[in-house]
Amino acid sequence: MFVQDLKLEFYNVLVGKRILIIVNYDIDGICASKIIQSLFKYDHMLYSVVPIMGMAGMQRAYTENRDDVKYVILINCGGCVDIVDLLQPDEEVVFFVCDSHRPLDVCNIYSDKQVCILGDPATEETIPSFEAIFRESDGEDSADEDDDEDDNEEEGTTRMEKHANRVLKQRERRTWENERDRIMFDYSQYSYYGRSSAIILFELAWKLTKDSPDLLWWAIVGTTEQLILGKIESSTYTLEIDNIQSHVSRLTTKSSDQTQTHSASKITFENDLHLALYRHWSVTESMRNSMYCACKLKLWTLRGEKKLHELLVEMGLPLTHAKQMFNSMDLTLRQEFHQMIEKLAEKYGIPDIVYGSFTLNYGYRNRYSAADYVYALLAILESVKHDKTPEDCFLEALDGLSKSHKSILTAGIESAKLLLSAIFRQVQSSLEAHQVHSAGPFFYFILNEENSYFSYPFGLTMLAKFILNGYVSTSRSRRAPELPLIVSCPVDAERGLCLLVGIPPVRENSPKSFFGKAFEQAAQKSNSVIRQDFFEPSLIQIRQSDLTRFLDTLTVLLS
């Protein structure tokens, strides 16, 4: 069931209770959990936070904590699976689901109070009606048939008529089941994303009059992650930032009425550039390692490098300055940088390099864009090593959101530079070596050796998007923009496992992915062993020995 009044039907229900918060391993989830934790701390509420990376992790987290709590909050997890069937909770346990993954599971939608989805059903795409997907069980149907038979016998109905009635009921049921299967396939065939969970929980804080610039900033970071990772369309992002701007104006006015200190946060809306970390990097490195700019200018080629130099010259930005750290550039050049690049964007084929975003200012010299935070936190989440567990990375990212832990953010930005540089080098070598192959209905690229940067979902997904956009920008094939890409990378040599991700075509205006269902069907038809444990259905683990057979079957399936 949907819960729309978050203050009365969600937050007030939890006051005074012990709560378990299970959070998916993504930036929007981390920002949302940071917001709800701030609210709980304000009201001195008892809670536990458990980060997870998949459905197995969610089951384990609940099993280990089920004795202590009756109220569970699932952030960016659980919405797309039948929670009651998966977790087998006691009847008095209530799950509040704040999940941006779509489509939502129909059992959760039509749950009677045990599963409560935070959101408005009016904003969801067409949800199947209850009557179209649920009906009385087979046992009840059989009982009805027996009753009918008893009645018919009393009336002296012949055995042939009874058989005809039974056949008619079975035929009606089969027809209904076929129609239900069709409706469910249409509803669940694509995976996509809804509103940021961080935004939803910030709006709760606003309604509770407990919002602040810090909470708003975390909501902005969660929304920006959706844009940068291609989870939502740019038009959806534009509509959301219009909503966010009203909160920025309100909180700015509220803050200006109070005594300001140099450490106070100030959020400003401005036109920014789709250049990764340029305020903390050199202009040339930022442009080279930003997917949009690199793919439009083909910066992995000599011709692309020459075009970049021409752009810098026409901008009036000397190469020596462009190769310096941005903060070390001449002040006048820094101030005019936006205007210079915006003026030449159309001429050099990068018209969408400007977009609306937010920056955070605090102290005397601390200025970060929301995208800076996203890249830094992505790098932190990707930094899993032998001595550093995913839980450690999650807590570090959580701390990195706080102004008091600036050193974590700074280290994250430096790590993000290494990650983005590694992605660009891999794209460059892959395209130069012609390692992107066509299988007919899709492209595929297979990494043959383990790479720590691409062994986790974020790094591999960013690499796949970069490779697909780069390949399409250089391909002469008219079909190239219409084909998706599949990328795989070994992740566990001892067990022979690799991580595989599917990316929608470049030409698709919508980031919806059909790979979840396609992977599931291909695995069944090829008898391949796959693990669809992630909450993103287009990400799977598969045995390397099954990979060729799996891709061959997928080719036939999608042809």
User: C-alpha 488: how far from its chain's center?
Assistant: 19
Domain boundary residue, one of 188, 203, 232: 188
* Confidence label for 207 from pLDDT (cuts 50, 70 and 90): very high
Task: Give the C-alpha separation, 72 to 65, whole Å.
Answer: 10
One domain, residues 423 and 438? no
Residue 238 within a domain: no
498-552 tens-digit pLDDT: 999 999 999 866 788 999 999 999 999 999 999 999 999 999 999 999 999 999 9
In this structure, the dihedral spanned by the alpha carbons of residues 108, 112, 115 and 119, taken in order and rounded to 10 degrees, is 80
142/528: higher pLDDT: 528
Residue 196's φ and ψ, nearest 5 degrees, are: -60, 135
Q: What is the mean pLDDT of residues 139-166?
A: 60
One domain, residues 157 and 293? no
Residue 52's φ and ψ, nearest 5 degrees, are: -135, 165
Q: Is the pLDDT of residue 39 over 70?
A: yes
One domain, residues 275 and 376? yes
Give Cα separations from 535 to 32, 97, 100 (angstroms). 17, 14, 10
379-421 tens-digit pLDDT: 999 988 767 888 999 999 999 999 888 999 999 999 999 999 9
Which stretches of 433-558 are DSSP H helices?
Answer: 457-474, 515-526, 544-558
Domain boundary residue, one of 431, 449, 470: 431
Task: Give the C-alpha separation, 550 to 500, whole Å.
Answer: 11
463-511 tens-digit pLDDT: 999 999 999 999 988 899 999 999 999 998 888 899 999 999 998 667 8
- Would you state the structure tokens that stand for residue 3, as one six-digit string? 């819960």
Q: Is the pLDDT of residue 365 over 80?
A: no
Residue 40 within a domain: no
79-115 tens-digit pLDDT: 999 999 999 999 999 999 999 999 999 999 998 889 9
Residue 288 within a domain: yes
Task: Give the C-alpha separation, 36 to 205, whole Å.
Answer: 8
Give Cα separations from 341 to 168, 295, 298, 325 (angstroms). 71, 17, 17, 17
Residue 479 within a domain: yes
328/36: higher pLDDT: 36
Task: Give the C-alpha separation, 391 to 395, whole Å.
Answer: 6
Task: Give the C-alpha separation, 393 to 407, whole Å.
Answer: 15
One domain, residues 424 and 328? yes
Using DSSP's 3-state secondary structure scheme, residue 521 falls into helix
Q: Is the pLDDT of residue 152 over 70?
A: no
Closest C-alpha to 277, from 218, 237, 228:
228
Q: Is the pLDDT of residue 289 over 80?
A: yes
Residue 75 within a domain: no
One domain, residues 304 and 351? yes
pTM of the model: 0.92
Q: How many domains does the chain have?
A: 3
Angle at 318 between CA 312 and CA 320, to 5 degrees: 120
CATH number at residue 500: 3.10.310
One domain, residues 478 and 374? no
**Tokens 């998966």 correspond to what residue?**
86
- Would you state the structure tokens that stand for residue 337, as one six-digit string? 């940088």
One domain, residues 272 and 419? yes
Task: Give the C-alpha separation, 250 to 410, whole Å.
Answer: 29
Residue 95 within a domain: no
Q: What is the mean pLDDT of residues 184-203?
A: 93
Predicted confidence at residue 140, as pLDDT, reads 45
Average model confidence (pLDDT) across the chain: 90
Residue 255 within a domain: no
94/149: higher pLDDT: 94
* Confidence label for 157 from pLDDT (cuts 50, 70 and 90): low
- Sequence-ordered list of residues with C-beta below 8 angstroms from that of 347, at least 6 positions apart, any chain: none
One domain, residues 416 and 475? no
Predicted confidence at residue 386, as pLDDT, reads 65
Domain boundary residue, one of 431, 456, 480: 431
Predicted confidence at residue 138, as pLDDT, reads 45
* E strand or H helix that includes residue 484: none
One domain, residues 439 and 425? no
For 6, half-sphere exposure in the C-beta direction (CA atoms, 13 angstrom radius) is 21
**Tokens 């975003």 correspond to what residue?**
357
One domain, residues 175 and 306? no
Predicted confidence at residue 364, as pLDDT, reads 72
Task: Give the C-alpha separation, 152 to 157, whole Å.
Answer: 5
* Confidence label for 159 from pLDDT (cuts 50, 70 and 90): confident
**Can you give the residue range of the structural domain that contains 476?**
434-558
Secondary structure tally for the chain: helices H, strands E: 23, 17
One domain, residues 374 and 328? yes
Sheet with 46-52, edge to edge strand ranges: 2-3, 115-118, 94-98, 71-75, 18-24, 46-52
Using DSSP's 3-state secondary structure scheme, residue 498 falls into strand
Residue 313 within a domain: yes
Task: Give the C-alpha separation, 31 to 260, whole Å.
Answer: 25
One domain, residues 275 and 415? yes
Predicted confidence at residue 225, as pLDDT, reads 96
Q: Are 420 and 375 in contact (CB under 8 A)?
A: yes
Predicted confidence at residue 151, as pLDDT, reads 52
Q: What percent of the chain has pLDDT over 70?
A: 94
